Structure 1
Amino acid sequence: MSAAPSPSFLTLVRTYGTYAGAMMARGLELVGKLGLYMLGARALGVHDSGYFFLCLTLVGVLATVSRGGFERAVVRHLAAELAVGKGRAAGQAFLVGLGAVLVLGLAVTALTAAFAQPLADYVFRDPEAARPLLLSTLVILPQAACYFIGNALLGLHKGAAGQLVQNGLWPVLTLAAVVAGVTSLDGLIYALAAANVAATVVGAVLLFRERHRFVDTHTDAPPGAPLPALWRTAAPLSVVEIVQILLPSLPVLLLATFGLPSQVGAFSVANRISMLVWVVSTSIGSVAAPSFAARHRQGQWSELRQLNRRVRLAVAVFGTPVVAVMVLAPAQVLHLVGPGFEIAATALVILGVGQLVYCLLPCQEIVLAMAGHGGVLRWLTLAQTVVCGALCVLLIPPFGMIGAAIATAVFAAQLAIGASLMVRRLMPQAF
């Protein structure tokens, strides 16, 4: 008779099974985004795809500004408060965060619509960019709400559902619109807005089903120190989130200023392909984030260290093969998108090297955020901003895509190294 599985083995299976569920949701994202990038770029051509990727970049930045760091803060507050039985406090944190995101999203949308033409004329020096920039404002608020609600589900330990809402649904729905025949630039932007609205509605329904958890319950867990107000947790994390979305976007925006739309389109495709490693890492890290917060709140340092090590191993196992394909066959990968995109092959190799560093030292910025060290993380990201900005200014005007790739690779590696060093310094028992 075979021996029964050991408890540690069952724990390991459950842990990686949870990651696998989130990876399946992110797999939908990969299918949706890669299909959207390939089919959309093929339908629009190199020139108009430059406008489309510019709009995607701008929407990503502005939706992040609209969230104000509340999406990351709500993960910590929901998980930490529920871990000690404070369901009402968790529910209040969700409502405060949602209200803040809606107000910020409306304000950012209005300002962007008002300045679409000046942005096109004076920043991008292309008056034809004004219309797609104006249309892209329709996506800002839905995407901000979609990401916030997805993160709230993560805070409830609903990893697969959270990843599906904030990352999986809208790319697949937008791709479905392309397959159905929506192949104009305007049509793709309208489809993107509608897809984000649909994902938000799905997330709201899933959250409503969990409303019974927002009540106080008895627990044997020690209460720990009270959490700060949600906005205090969100304030430093807002800087982190804005920097983390702006830094990948900054090389694209500067390349749009100094280069041709075809270069912007090709580099944007290469950049998004390279970020598949980041997708793997964040999907696993996002599932683990509420457990990081709960175990830190409960003072379970041994469990926190074990979880952190499992997360790093999982990212390395899933991410390293992706990097290998990018580095060893860049032209072939880009050719799958369409003719002409192979011009970014060297850039893809450089981007892959930067992602390899992050793959080997992943998710430590999430540990810092969930343990309440948002201020430290803010300084790390500000240092990234200085380095990335300097590299962009120095390298993009003379070297174009290659300069943009170097700047992007350096800031990816810099965060991984810096966050790992700070976790070892501030919480050596958690590394």
Structure 2
Amino acid sequence: MSIALPRSLSALISSYGPYVGALMARGLELVGKLGLYMVGARILGVHDSGYFFLCMTWVGVIATIARVGHERAVVRHVAAELAVGRGRAALKALLSGTLVVLVGGTIASLVTAALAQPLAIYAFRDPEAARPLLISAAVILPQALCYFLGNALLGFHRSAAGQMVQNSLWPIFTLAALVAGVHSLDGILYAFAAANLAAAGVGVALLFRERNRFVDLPSDGADHEPLPSLWRTALPLSVVEVMQILLPSLPILLLASFGLPSDVGAFSVANRISMLVWVVSTPIGAVAAPSFAAQHRQRQTDEMRRLNRRMRLAIAVFSLPIVAVMILLPGPLLHLIGPGFEIAAPALMVLGVGQLIYSLMPCQEVVLSMSGYGGVLRWLIIAQAVVTLILCFALIPPFGMMGAAISNAVNAAQLAIGSAIAVRMLMPKVF
């Protein structure tokens, strides 16, 4: 005997179904990244793990610069063009974006390899960091492709697959290498590069399966304004993407200049734990992003408002328990990573407060970028950068990890508050 669900409950479950799929994909990321951080930290120790996390941070920043905003632009263009039956235009956006990322990633890899020793000596004041930075150059191009291809899948409303490609597969593959016996710093970095390359290969295979959608469909008769070129969409978003990865990473890079490798290792772990909120918010925002782009193209304001409210509620429900553990139990949480990491407990509490504010007003930057307000978002991010730079240089030299934690907490809170105010002012019916 089957039990029929009430229509309202069935509709609610159906509306949140895509979020659950994306969260399951990010659940694999959570397992992979936490496992990688814990196993890697125990194998390398506090000192060498500092080099590992420094390289991960460097790769993340440089690979983002290499993509010059095309990863978020391709989501909007693919989703919006397919929504009005323009499959050939979607294909053109995908191919042109891929070419830009290939060229940018190659240049970034070569520049990092050439400058590894000067960076280690003059930027990070540690000549021993030169070899890890040199090896990390091999990771940049695969990671740039990995993130771009994952975002391209989001444009096809393949949210779970996109999250797997850009966030879940590479940490799982890297962790598998550690479990298989790769225990040196050099070996782990090489495994990191191979894992990103494998994830990018999966992304290519999944996009190839969508090839039948790159055809033009009969017009619906509506007058749809043409989208700007991919470059015009990407340019303001490139500032947004670079700043969103650079600003949380800047305290780690400065701490590497003013602190010990052990401080970098401990704070990097605390910072990455605090970013578990992004593990929740990013997939939910990624699921909603192509729908925002399509609904904005079709001028469906009421649908955008309902989607925005569902998105915010889902993120708050899943994020608040994580934030509570960060703030209330930072020491035991860090002890799970390994001995010695508890020194970052006060920093984790401060980081948790910043993530609490973000989780209450999340992902409004996604609404802005998918609605054609990339220029407004760019200025919000520039203001964020100014505040973060001031805090970093004022607080990190005298206060070390706590200064870095305050900088990142303010960064997260400012992003949430600023983008929420912008959406409320520019699109009041959407908030």
TM-score under structure 1 normalisation?
0.98
| Root mean square deviation, CA, Å | 1.3
Give distance in 2, aligned partners of 1:185 and 1:2.
Answer: 56
Distance 1:195 1:256 in 2: 26
Tell whether 2:206 aligns with 1:216.
no
Within 1, Cα distance between the matches of 2:129 and 2:249? 17
Shift of 1:17: 1.2
Unaligned runs of 5+ in 1: none
What corresponds to 1:404 in structure 2?
404
CA shift in 2, pair 1:6/1:93, >3 Å = farther
* CA shift for structure 1 position 114: 0.9
- Over 3 Å counting, the alpha-carbon distance change for 1:47 and 1:25 in structure 2 is same
Query: Structure 1 residue 163 and structure 2 residue 163: aligned?
Result: yes
What secondary structure sits across from 1:114 in the alignment? helix
Shift of 1:222: 3.1
Q: Deviations over 1:151-176 (max 9, x none)?
A: 00000000000000100100001001
How many percent identity over aligned positions? 71
Counterpart Cα distance in 2 of 1:47 and 1:66? 29
Correspondence for 1:104: 104
Q: Where do residues 246-395 of structure 1 align in structure 2 (5 Å cutoff)?
A: 246-395=246-395
Letter in 2 for 1:174: T
Alignment pair present for 1:53 and 2:48: no
* 2:183 is aligned with 1:183: yes
* 1:8-55 per-position Cα deviation (integer Å, ceiling 9, x unaligned): 544432221111110011011111111100110110011100000000
Say if 2:225 is the partner of 1:225: yes
Contact 1:84 1:223 in 2 (8 A): no
- For residues 362-415 of structure 1, what are the alpha-carbon distances to aligned partners after superposition, in whole Å with 9 as ceiling and x for unaligned? 010000000010000000000010000000001001100000000000010000
Deviation at 1:220, TM superposition (A): 3.4
Matches within 5 A, 1:190-201: 190-201=190-201
What SS is found at the alignment partner of 1:305?
helix
Which amino acid is the alignment partner of residue 333 of structure 1? L
Q: 1-side partners of 2:178 and 2:358: how far apart?
A: 33
1:341 & 1:309 partners in 2: Cα distance? 38
Alignment of structure 1 residues 65-84 onto 2, 5 Å? 65-84=65-84
Which residue is 2:242 aligned to? 242
Inter-partner Cα distance in structure 1 for 2:253 and 2:222: 48
What is the rounded CA distance, in whole Å, between the counterparts of 1:89 and 1:8 in structure 2? Answer: 38
* 1:428 aligned counterpart, secondary structure: coil
Q: Which runs of 5+ in 2 are unaligned?
A: none
- SS, match of residue 220 in structure 2: coil
Q: CA deviation at 1:224?
A: 2.1
Residue type of the partner of 2:68? G
1:133 alignment counterpart: 133
The secondary structure found in structure 1 opposite 2:429 is: helix
The Cα of 1:118 is off from its aligned counterpart by 0.5
Q: Conserved in 2, the CA contact under 8 Å of 1:84 and 1:221?
A: no
Is residue 37–residue 269 contact of structure 1 (8 Å, CA) maintained in 2? yes
Which amino acid in 2 is paired with 1:200?
Answer: A
**Which stretch has the larger CA shift, 326-335 or 222-231?**
222-231
**TM-score for the superposition, normalised by structure 2:** 0.98
Change (3 A) 1:4 1:110: same
Please name the residue that 2:113 is paired with: 113
Q: Work out the CA distance in 2 between the residues paired with 1:198 and 1:37.
A: 20
Q: Distance in 2 between matches of 1:341 and 1:151?
A: 34
Q: For structure 1, which segment, 124-133 or 5-14, has the greater mean C-alpha deviation from structure 2 after superposition?
A: 5-14
Counterpart of 2:125 in 1: which secondary structure?
A: coil
The letter for the 2-side match of 1:260 is L
Deviation at 1:218, TM superposition (A): 2.5
Question: 141-150 vs 3-12, which deviates more?
Answer: 3-12
Call closer, same or farther: CA 1:324–1:370 in 2, change over 3 Å: same
Residues 146 and 203 in structure 1, CA contact (< 8 A), matched pair in contact too: yes
C-alpha distance in structure 2 between counterparts of 1:139 and 1:126, whole Å = 21
**Aligned equivalent of 2:92:** 92
- 1:178 Cα shift? 0.7
CA contact (8 A) 1:165 1:203 kept: yes
The residue identity in structure 2 corresponding to 1:214 is: F
- Cα distance in 2 for partners of 1:319, 1:384 equals 23
8 Å CA contact retained: 1:50, 1:264: yes
Q: Check 1:358–1:127 CA distance in 2 against 1; reply closer, same or farther (3 A cut).
A: same
**Residue 221 of structure 1 contacts residue 298 of structure 1 at CA under 8 Å; is this kept in 2?**
no
Q: Distance in 2 between matches of 1:197 and 1:113?
A: 18
Distance 2:4 2:351 in 1: 46
Counterpart Cα distance in 1 of 2:223 and 2:289? 19
Question: 1-side partners of 2:10 and 2:221: how far apart?
Answer: 23
Q: Which moved more, 1:221-230 or 1:182-191?
A: 221-230
User: Which residue identity does 1:127 align to in structure 2?
Assistant: P
Distance in structure 1 (CA, Å) of the matches to 2:155 and 2:325: 33
1 CA distance for matches of 2:221 and 2:140? Answer: 40
Give, in whole Å, the separation in 2 of the partners of 1:33 and 1:222: 46
